[in-house]
Amino acid sequence: MEFLRRAKEFFGEVMAEFRKVTWPSRQELINSTVVVIVVTVVVAFFLGAVDIVLARVVERILR
């Protein structure tokens, strides 16, 4: 029975913490998602370009 009391107490505290959270608005969530996607695409293109350049440099060195 101690386990059930502690579990109930734990979930009660979790719910209390959830009530304290300031959740983002729908527009804030959309804006943040767009920023993450754009940054991810830009970094992917940058790393792809660096990979291609380094592959060509190594290829020329090994010839």
Where in the sequence is the domain holding 41, given as residue range(s)? 23-63
> Is residue 31 a part of any domain in this protein?
yes
> Is residue 30 a part of any domain in this protein?
yes
Instruction: State mean pLDDT over 28-56.
Output: 98
Tell me: pLDDT of 39 over 90.
Answer: yes
CA-atom Rg of the chain in angstroms: 25
Cβ atoms of 42 and 50 closer than 8 Å? no
- What are the distances in angstroms from CA 44 to CA 11, 40, 49, 54, 60? 41, 6, 9, 15, 24
Model pLDDT, residue 9: 95
> Is residue 16 a part of any domain in this protein?
no
pLDDT tens-digit readout, 5-29: 999 999 999 999 999 999 999 999 9
> Is residue 62 a part of any domain in this protein?
yes
> Is residue 46 a part of any domain in this protein?
yes
